[in-house]
Structures are given as C-alpha cells and as structure tokens.
C-alpha cells in the first residue's frame, strides 16, 4: 500500500528532514514548511518506508500538492 502525503497549506519548503529509504512513523517529520514566517512540520501520517520525496528545499507547494510517498507496511 502506498500513501501520498499532501501539503495542507501554501508554503515554501524550508527544510527536508526525511529521504527516500527512511523508515518513518506517524509522528516523524518529513519536511518543514515556512508560511507567513511560521515553521510548520509535515508529518508522515502512516508507518512505512519513504518511497519518494517529491519536494526539495526551496520548492513552493500549494494545498494538495504531493510532499512524499510512503510505502506502508
């Protein structure tokens, strides 16, 4: 099963914390978005292995854009 983590708001990617191949849990931070001078962590949402990170530092994301793909266990 694959789970796509989506951006919940417009922002720029301030920091990419996780990478492809990383094992993650629902409370793990994948990226940190910056929006209106606030830093907002984007969490994994499910347990699994990061199959793909679809953003890089500096990218601008809109609500609903893909952040990462997690292959669930």
% of the chain exceeding 90 in pLDDT: 95
Q: Kindly state the tokens that stand for 51.
A: 């199959």
**Across residues 12-29, what is the average pLDDT?**
97
Q: What pLDDT score does 33 carry?
A: 97
**What pTM, to 2 d.p., does this model score?**
0.91
Q: Kindly state the tokens that stand for 67.
A: 């952040």
Residues 6+ positions from 38 with CB-CB distance below 8 Å: none
Please give the tally of structural domains in the chain. Answer: 1
Per-residue pLDDT at 67 exceeds 70: yes
Q: Where are the alpha helices (DSSP H) in 1-73?
A: none
**Rounded to the nearest 5°, which phi and psi values hold at 25?**
-115, 165
Q: What pLDDT score does 72 carry?
A: 80
- Round the average pLDDT of the chain to a whole number and report it: 95
**Across residues 39-54, what is the average pLDDT?**
96
Print the domain residue range for 23.
2-72
Q: Is 53 helix (H, G, I), strand (E, B) or coil?
A: strand
């Amino acid at each position: 099963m694959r789970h796509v983590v989506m951006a919940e708001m417009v922002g720029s990617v301030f920091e990419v914390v996780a990478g492809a191949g990383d094992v993650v849990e629902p409370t793990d931070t994948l990226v940190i978005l910056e929006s209106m001078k606030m830093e907002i962590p984007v969490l994994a949402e499910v347990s699994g292995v990061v199959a793909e990170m679809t953003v890089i530092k500096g990218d601008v994301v809109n609500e609903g854009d893909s952040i990462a793909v997690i292959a669930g266990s």
